[in-house]
């Protein structure tokens, strides 16, 4: 019996050693155990956050370049545009290509000849970038009346923030939206998790239902006989590739950001 137990223990140890540490949530020494844990783990699992030197740095402010990179990863963005007019993005900067993708996506617009990539991004700025990325608009500003600091929200941010609040993606804290505060990595991961709980980032055929919004950010994907309880987003990473919806029910919006002129094919009762 003792030998059998030892053999079982050694087998389990060998199996565990085959998995990366982050599969068990222990890769990062500073991974919190609080409201943001699930969102941070999702961001890591889906390649949005990668951390540095074994740390996820949940309480550090997010820079504009870092946010652009995360959004690009979520949508699978590959196309770039010229950003030569922006004088504060050096060609040898690690984020040069990411900012070029963000400008191509129209998630980042900049001000004059500046993109301010190294600046911390405020909560209202981050919310507007997400409203642009997910094409959320038409929000009624009256919904902001529940926030005691509603007058701190910039005029240009009101519609986008209203749309995010109305859809339930952001809710503030203690009756405040804190628009001028810098957004932390944990806070941003939580908002992204509210917006996107499901990702398809590998080619293939999928038949399981999805609860929550679904992002497809690679080409050559078929959804067959399933229901998406939420929005279906065809991300920029689909490019000119093909996505087939075969007998698919989507309870929310179908948002097409990627795909060529004839590459989104709807068949069956979709």
Burial class (CB in 10 A: 0-12, 13-18, 19+), 115: buried
Query: How confident is the model over 52-74, as pLDDT tens digits?
Result: 889 999 999 999 999 999 999 99
User: What is residue 19's predicted lDDT score, i.e. its pLDDT?
Assistant: 43
Residue 164: closest CA among 187, 198, 141: 141
Highest mean pLDDT among 48-62, 183-197, 251-265: 183-197
Query: How confident is the model over 188-243, as pLDDT tens digits?
Result: 999 999 999 999 999 999 999 999 999 999 999 999 999 999 999 999 999 989 99
User: What is residue 15's predicted lDDT score, i.e. its pLDDT?
Assistant: 44
Over 50: is that where the pLDDT of 24 sits? Answer: no
Cβ partners under 8 Å of residue 257, min gap 6: 75, 105, 135, 233, 234, 235, 236
User: What is residue 270's predicted lDDT score, i.e. its pLDDT?
Assistant: 80
Q: What is the mean pLDDT of the chain?
A: 91
Over 50: is that where the pLDDT of 3 sits? Answer: yes
Instruction: Give per-residue burial for 58-94: e unless 16+ CB within 10 Å, then b.
Output: bebbbbbbbbbbbbbbbbbbeebeebeebeebeeeee
Matching residue, tokens 């929005």: 231
Query: Left, alpha or beta for 53 (phi > 0: left; psi -120 to 50: alpha)?
Result: left
Query: How confident is the model over 87-137, as pLDDT tens digits?
Result: 999 999 999 999 999 999 999 999 999 999 999 999 999 999 999 999 999
Over 80: is that where the pLDDT of 267 sits? Answer: yes
Burial class (CB in 10 A: 0-12, 13-18, 19+), 163: buried
**What is the chain written as a DSSP string?**
-HHHHHHHHHHHHHHHHTS-GGGGT-S-TT--SSTTHHHHHHHHHTTS---BTTB--TTSBPBHHHHHHHHHHHHT-------TT-TT--TTSTTHHHHHHHHHHTS---BTTB--TTSBPBHHHHHHHHHHHTT-----GGGGGGSTTGGGS-GGGHHHHHHHHHTTS---BTTB--TTSBPBHHHHHHHHHHH-SEEE-S-EEE-S-EES-EEE-SSSEEEES-EEES-EEE-GGGTT--EEEES-EESS-EEE-S--TT-EEEETT-
* Cut 0.85: pTM above it: yes
Over 80: is that where the pLDDT of 9 sits? Answer: no
């Amino acid at each position: 019996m003792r030998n059998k137990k030892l053999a079982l223990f050694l087998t389990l140890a060998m199996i565990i050693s085959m998995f990366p540490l982050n599969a068990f949530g222990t890769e990062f020494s500073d991974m919190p155990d609080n409201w943001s844990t699930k969102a941070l783990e999702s961001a890591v699992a889906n390649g949005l956050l990668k951390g540095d030197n074994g740390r996820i740095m949940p309480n550090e402010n997010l820079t504009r370049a870092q946010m652009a990179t995360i959004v690009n990863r979520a949508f699978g963005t590959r196309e770039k545009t010229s950003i030569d007019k922006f004088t504060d993005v050096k060609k040898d900067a690690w984020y040069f290509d990411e900012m070029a993708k963000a400008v191509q996506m129209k998630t980042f617009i900049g001000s004059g000849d500046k993109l301010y990539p190294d600046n911390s991004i405020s909560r209202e700025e981050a919310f507007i970038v997400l409203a642009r990325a997910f094409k959320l608009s038409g929000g009624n500003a009256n919904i902001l009346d529940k926030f005691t600091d509603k007058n701190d929200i910039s005029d240009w941010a009101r519609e986008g923030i209203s749309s995010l609040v109305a859809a339930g993606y952001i809710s503030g804290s203690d009756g405040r939206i804190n628009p001028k505060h810098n957004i932390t990595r944990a806070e941003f991961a939580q908002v992204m998790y509210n917006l996107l709980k499901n990702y398809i980032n590998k080619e293939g055929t999928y038949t399981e239902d999805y609860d929550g919004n679904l992002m497809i950010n690679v080409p050559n994907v078929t959804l067959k006989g399933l229901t998406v309880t939420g929005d279906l987003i065809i991300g920029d990473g689909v490019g000119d590739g093909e996505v087939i919806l075969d007998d698919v029910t989507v309870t929310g919006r179908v948002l097409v950001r990627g795909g060529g002129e004839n590459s989104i094919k709807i068949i069956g009762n979709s």
